[in-house]
Amino acid sequence: MRPSILRRLLRRVASTAALALVAATLSTVGAAPPAAAAGGLQQVTGFGTNPGNLQMYEYAPAGLPANAPLVIALHGCTQTANDYYTNSGWPKYADLWGFAVVFPQTTSANNPLSCFGWFDPAEDSRGKGEAASIVQMVEHAKRSHGSDARRVYVTGLSAGGGMTADLLAAYPDVFAGGSVASGLPAQCATSQAAASGCQTGPQKLTPAQWGDKVRGSYPGYSGPWPRVAIWQGTSDYTVYPANATALRDQWTDVWGIGRTPSSTDTLPGNTTRSIYNDTSGKPAVETYSVSGMGHGLAVSPGSGTDQCGTTAAYFLNAICSTYYTGVFWGLDQGTPGGGQLPAPSGLQVTAVTANSVSLSWNAVPDAASYAVHRNGTKVASPTATTYTDTGLTAGTAYRYTVAAIDGSGTPGTTSPQVTATTTGSTPGQCFTATNYAHVTAGRAHTTGGYVYANGSNENMGLYNVFVTHTLKESPAGYFLIADSGCAT
CA–CA dist 115, 105 (Å, integer): 9
Q: Which residues of 64-94 are buried (b: 16+ CB within 10 A; e: fewer)?
A: beeebbbbbbbbbbbbbbbbbbbbbbbbbbb
Distance CA 326, CA 93 (A): 8
> Which among 443, 347, 456, 339 has a CA at the least distance from the CA of 396?
443
For residue 475, cis peptide bond before it (omega within 30 degrees of 0): yes
Please report, as a single letter, which amino acid is at residue 353.
Answer: T
Backbone angles phi, psi at 458, to 5 degrees: -70, 135
| H/E stretch holding 210 | helix 207-215
Q: Which letter, b or e, does each residue of 426-445 get, where b requires 16 or more Cβ atoms within 10 Å of its Cβ? A: eeeebbebbbbbbbbbbbbe
418: β partners: 400
CA distance 450 to 7: 51
Q: Are strands 283-290 and 227-233 parallel, antiparallel or unpaired?
A: parallel
Q: How many CA atoms lie within 13 A of 306 on its CB side?
A: 12
The set of residues, in sequence order, having a beta carbon less than 8 Å from that of 128 and lying 6+ positions away, is 51, 52, 121, 122
Catalytic positions, written as ranges? 158
- 3-state class of 369 per DSSP? strand
313 Rama sector, left if φ>0, alpha if ψ -120 to 50, beta otherwise: beta
Q: Can you tell me the distance from the alpha carbon of 220 to that of 244, in angstroms, rounded to the nearest whole number?
A: 27
